[in-house]
Structure 1
């Protein structure tokens, strides 16, 4: 069920205008996912662990080995046993007969550990793809911040031109022009800041697949496009199938195998030996055999059995604790998404259009001498501030959406109209 987090590209719906005049290399979120899936060491580490556990499983499947031996008695002594005349030479073959199902228990435990790797890998993969989406979102945020800054620069440029005209006509003092120029410089500073953030975010994303010099210029996506998300009850029902909780099923099988292995220690192994003995003194030979069984095996096995059974009982408690933590995190992320989505939508539909109309009306009034520069500049600042507030809300919603998808392992592909289209 743990689908690829392709739907983290829900905000990758509208291309952002490239920051450079020359053709740009645009990276999609799916491309970023594919690069990380191919190269990131976290996933290769799990593959390496599988080879280790496979080798351990081969060892666990081995039966106890046989031991060949030879012994010499009554040789190189004194009197009748001087030299080798009275020596007794024995050739033996010895082994261990395992009892209590130890061999099956070892194999079951080894295989359970191998089976658990699949869920571990999926958990790491989802966490890694969520991190890719966060870093990708940081780039789209910097690009959108640059768009807002460029729009602010365009506003301030018109203000400087109007202030210069009024100064030339003697209708306003030089201080108004200087103030307008300072506001323009601050807007240019915000653009430059966005450029620096964009460069840093590109390097941060490319580092996930080991690229020192990013081979892309921009990314596709509009963080203001927020998709529809299911109700919290529907999302909470998906938690039972997430890798974070599914791993406890594998952990339970591992601990059950350990309990079985511990219980098998109640049955003592049988050490056997079979061989041939030759008496040098008269040249006679005879068979020899022995069997040894350690005593008190059941009593010595009890502490290990109790420990294994206690660990098995902890699985359900650990799963319950993890389920509560996931539920709380999902509730917080879902609430944060809905709140931020509502805020971004209201700003787009009810605030920004009015501020845009007010700013255009203020420009006409200022050029006609009906209002002061401060009134026009304040409206420009209000509009830019509202656009930044909308972007901040949308980014908060996108981060919450990434967390929701990481927790549930489910994509959300419901189309949402792009916001931020107000003039």
Structure 2
């Protein structure tokens, strides 16, 4: 009965005809057998570890077993070699790094954005949330929250943030150890004929990264993760801007539909007056036809306004991924005017713009990438330790080694130069972004101020004058003082003035939203009568 340490429960193939000793050992390792178990099996069957019959069949088993199993001294050497490899591999573990720059929220907070959950291969494509469609009366805040939670493009950016986190995890993975198995001194002539004198070696090697390569990779990946957060924030503000534009457009379409109904009612009222005057013989029947043309034109305008309203509803609902609008109407006030602060104050607030604020992290990221490329110029040693069996006498010995790549001058020079150029490009791109944002803020301020001036002029001067002109022309026509053409012209002017007021108020609200996108936050509302232009 075999003693302790010689018993194994896993079966070992007895017949492996046509396989070399190296292949036989590899097969048994793949089955999960240890080197000791392979040696024990070959000892019991009278073969070498590769499966070659040993010539010393009549020898005592105990001395042969001592040749296969290392003694205490050899075991200590093996433990020392293995410990050395593990300690050197531990040197490659990077120190704890401070967390990368956190994502700073910017812009109006109007609900919780969609956050991509951790996915597996089967869950991919099924994690997109299905949100209840808003019903009844829709406010701007509800529309913004719905878009942040359900916008498909914004959800895609959220998954990119998850991907950046995964790249950070991968950057911290150290080099994997390698298991080597080789056989030599076989298939020759004389004593080297066949596999009887072959030497079979099994070794474990570990590459140790020097120059803080792993720590620098992790830092660069964390900065890229922060950049992905900034890109997500920029897309979030873009979604808020698009939703605000669509909502304002819907409010304007509702107002235009109401204006079209009012215009049609006025034209029909005028047509009734003309019809009475024609029947009384006071005006020519030609004027009745003119009034009919005005009614038909107003009817077409009403139908077009209805179609435009449906398009505006669909456009808004599409921003949260809905195929149809389920709400009844949008509730909002186009008349509200919010005065912006001074241009200098807006320039100060523009630093919160993610398109501009991200460049601080971008420069840090490119600097980290340059550090990564420079660290690659430091060669990484590979340490190995293992065991070798000599087929001629069945003895076993340990082996250890170290290899070091020869650093050729400029071996990574191209990548270092590329990283340097990208860093220089980053500084230039940041200056360009600062200039672009400054111009956009100034232009946005001018658009807002112009829209404000137009709204005030229409409310204060143009619309009251157009209303008075129409009332006077209509009353004069009843009294026979003015022809019908004057009434129709006055009515057209009044309708145009009302339409311009709707467009100007909508333009003001859109300009306000665009300026908020540029400064990355809601506009402050200082107490001042009107926007102050430079030099005023």
TM-score normalised by L of structure 1: 0.88
State the match for 2:153 in structure 1: 42
Q: Does 1:182 align with 2:293?
A: yes
In the alignment, the residues of structure 1 paired with residue 526 and residue 439 of structure 2 have an alpha-carbon distance, to the nearest angstrom, of 27
How far off is 1:223 after superposition?
2.5
**1:4 paired residue number:** 108
Structure with more relative contact order (C-alpha pairs < 8 Å, separation 6 or more): 1
Counterpart among 276, 283, 286 of residue 172 in structure 1: 283
Matched residues in 2 for 1:415 and 1:101: separation? 52
Q: 2:177 aligned with 1:73, yes or no?
A: no
How far residue 78 of structure 1 moved from its aligned partner, in angstroms, is 2.6
Aligned counterpart, 2:115: none
Q: Any gaps of 5 or more consecutive residues in structure 1?
A: 7-23, 417-423
How many residue pairs are counted as aligned between the two chains?
A: 399
User: Which is further off, 180-189 or 73-82?
Assistant: 73-82
1:40-69 deviations in whole A, cap 9, x for unaligned?
222222232233233332222122121222
2:328 corresponding residue in structure 1 = 217
Judging changes above 3 Å, is the alpha-carbon distance between structure 1 residues 96 and 299 closer, same or farther for their aligned structure 2 residues? same
Q: Which residue of the partner structure matches residue 272 of structure 2?
A: 161
In structure 2, the residue matched to 1:131 is 242
Aligned-pair distance for 1:109?
A: 1.6
Q: How far 1:194 sits from its partner (Å)?
A: 0.8
Once the two structures are superposed, residues 339-388 of structure 1 have per-residue CA deviations (whole angstroms, 9 ceiling, x without a partner) of 12111211111222232223223222221222222222222222112212
Q: Does 1:309 align with 2:420?
A: yes
SS in 1 for 2:327: coil
CA contact (8 A) 1:265 1:298 kept: no
Equivalent residue number for residue 446 of structure 2: 335
Q: Over residues 298-345 of structure 1, what are the superposed CA-to-partner deviations in whole Å (9 max), with x where a residue is unaligned?
A: 521232222212211221210111121222222222112211211121
Question: Which whole-Å CA distance do the structure 2 matches of 1:157 and 1:403 have between them?
Answer: 41
| Distance change in 2, residues 1:79/1:381 (3 Å) | same
Larger radius of gyration: 2
Change (3 A) 1:87 1:364: closer
- The answer for unaligned runs of 5 or more in structure 2 is 1-104, 111-134, 528-536
Paired with 1:87 and 1:169, the residues of 2 have a C-alpha distance of 128
Q: Who is 1:244 aligned against? A: 355
What is the CA–CA distance in structure 2 between the aligned matches of 1:222 and 1:133, rounded to whole Å? 13
Match of 1:352 in 2: 463
- Answer whether contact 2:226 2:361 (CA < 8 A) is retained: yes
CA contact (8 A) 2:154 2:239 kept: no
CA gap 1:413/1:323 in 2 versus in 1, 3 angstroms: closer
Question: What residue in structure 2 maps to residue 15 of structure 1?
Answer: none
